[in-house]
């Protein structure tokens, strides 16, 4: 029984450091890997990295660590990744949390979900940055602490464009919205992030079989700005799913 935390675009395991530490202090087994081609794994050339690479990262972690009864948590872009990993390793998953995260239908790439102007901006940025192989992080609202903003800015790495352009495709041929085909899922929305695609996704799944939901009064970068609140929410959902704390 474990919690697996998957980071968003341009990031790495470092973004989960505080929340992961708090969950471990509560006795949970926690894994927070860095996805291929990012952060300390950014030495892998972006031309070799796709969405399928990241899905394989997490599916492989589940298999090779022989993890079962897992609570799989994805922030932002990682909604694409945890959807694919759970599709491939369904029997290992006890529950899933989409933390202000994308939820693709089979055949959809992230570029199919975001607004066209966002897609066009990222394609332009990629072309100017390295000939279209990776996307540097677009400007975002800084966190309240200017020191943290400067620290985090130095840690972001460009996102391989194949992770954004390649569609998620279900290996089981199941509909993303088919509650019977998936473990219990929870959508945690950052309600202060107005006008985002995530607000539309939260509405889309509200009341659907197999889904529960909640909100944070926070901006999108909540994993880094509000780690205690995030850890509390994850721990509460883990407890409700009966995920044990082996080190408590």
Question: pLDDT tens, position by position, for the chain (248 residues)?
Answer: 899 999 999 999 999 999 999 999 999 999 999 999 999 999 999 999 999 999 999 999 999 999 999 999 999 999 999 999 999 999 999 999 999 999 999 999 999 999 899 899 999 999 999 999 999 998 776 667 777 888 888 899 999 999 999 999 999 999 999 999 999 999 999 999 888 899 999 999 999 999 999 999 999 999 999 999 999 999 999 999 998 898 88
Establish if 124 belongs to a structural domain.
no
pTM above 0.75, yes or no: yes
Token readout for 193 is: 């992030």
Establish if 95 belongs to a structural domain.
yes
The total of structural domains in the chain comes to 1
Establish if 48 belongs to a structural domain.
yes
Token readout for 2 is: 């474990």
Establish if 96 belongs to a structural domain.
yes
Strand 159-160 with 134-135, pairing: antiparallel
Establish if 123 belongs to a structural domain.
no
CATH number at residue 72: 3.40.50.1820
Establish if 101 belongs to a structural domain.
yes
CA distance 173 to 7: 26
Residues classed as catalytic? 76
CA distance 159 to 132: 11
DSSP 31: E
Establish if 151 belongs to a structural domain.
no
Establish if 88 belongs to a structural domain.
yes
List the domain range (segments joined by +) for residue 7. 2-114+159-240
């Amino acid at each position: 029984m474990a919690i697996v935390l998957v980071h968003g675009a341009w990031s790495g395991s470092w973004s989960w450091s505080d929340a992961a530490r708090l969950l471990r202090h509560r006795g949970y087994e926690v894994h927070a890997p860095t996805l291929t081609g990012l952060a300390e794994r950014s030495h892998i050339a972006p031309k070799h990295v796709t969405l399928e690479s990241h899905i394989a990262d997490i599916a492989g972690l589940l298999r090779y660590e022989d993890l079962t009864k897992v609570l799989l948590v994805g922030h932002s872009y990682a909604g694409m990744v945890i959807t694919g990993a759970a599709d491939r390793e369904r029997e290992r998953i006890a529950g899933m949390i989409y933390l202000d995260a994308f939820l693709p239908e089979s055949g959809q790439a992230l570029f199919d979900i975001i607004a066209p102007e966002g897609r066009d901006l990222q394609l332009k940025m990629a072309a100017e940055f390295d000939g279209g192989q990776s996307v540097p992080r677009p400007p975002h609202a800084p966190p309240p602490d200017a020191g943290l903003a400067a620290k985090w800015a130095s840690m972001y790495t460009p996102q391989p464009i194949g992770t954004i352009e390649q569609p998620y495709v279900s290996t089981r041929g199941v509909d993303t919205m088919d509650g019977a085909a998936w473990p219990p899922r929870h959508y945690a929305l950052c309600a202060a992030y107005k006008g985002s695609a995530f607000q539309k996704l939260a509405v889309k799944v509200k009341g659907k079989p197999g889904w529960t939901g909640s909100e944070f009064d926070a901006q999108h970068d909540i994993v880094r700005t509000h780690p205690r609140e995030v850890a509390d929410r994850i721990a509460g959902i883990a407890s409700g799913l009966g995920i044990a704390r082996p080190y408590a």
